[in-house]
Amino acid sequence: MKLSDHEINAHLRDKLQNIAGRHLYVILGTYECLDRYERVALPELLGPDNQKLPAPVNVNRTLLERIPDEEVKMLVQSEARRPEHVRQRLYDEFDALLSETLAGYPAVALKQLELLFAFDLELDKLRIRAVNQKHILLMLAGERTSERITLFHEASPQWHRTLPATLVPEDHLCELTT
């Protein structure tokens, strides 16, 4: 459903108070709309503890910062020969990032997740971690076309990705109006 910034906050406010079930939410929009939402509306959203959510985590930047420079160089050099090794390293680091971030806050917003999709990482850690009163909000550049969610829709078609249909329930998915 396409909603305004404030309608999304109202929708999420109700969801963030639930203690049972999965707590994984997605906001779709253009990069421009997501940036506006982050600056204007997200600071007004209260988490399950009635506190403002911390600033969204830039997943791309944070993952690269967590891996030592020498290891990043090695991963880049060996990617063509050992893509599975690179994928596993990023997957493990992403899981550790989620675990550590959610240990400090009951709700976290994540943005800039392109690295996960570029390496075709499994997204199961999002579902696994978004339980037991822990909430994850994904801010993804994308749009819904009937039943399909196309990510990075503003890029050339070769860079488009599809959000797995089973990742997020329909009522946990919102799309920003332009």
* Model confidence at 19: pLDDT above 80: no
Domain holding 166, by residue range, is 2-176
pLDDT, mean over the chain? 90
Report pLDDT digits (tens) over 70-104.
887 787 777 667 777 788 889 999 999 999 999 98
* Model confidence at 115: pLDDT above 70: yes
Domains in the chain, number: 1
- State residue 153's pLDDT score: 92
The Cβ-side half-sphere exposure at 58, using a 13 Å CA radius, reads: 7
Report pLDDT digits (tens) over 32-79.
999 999 999 999 999 888 889 999 999 999 998 998 888 877 877 776
* Model confidence at 133: pLDDT above 90: no
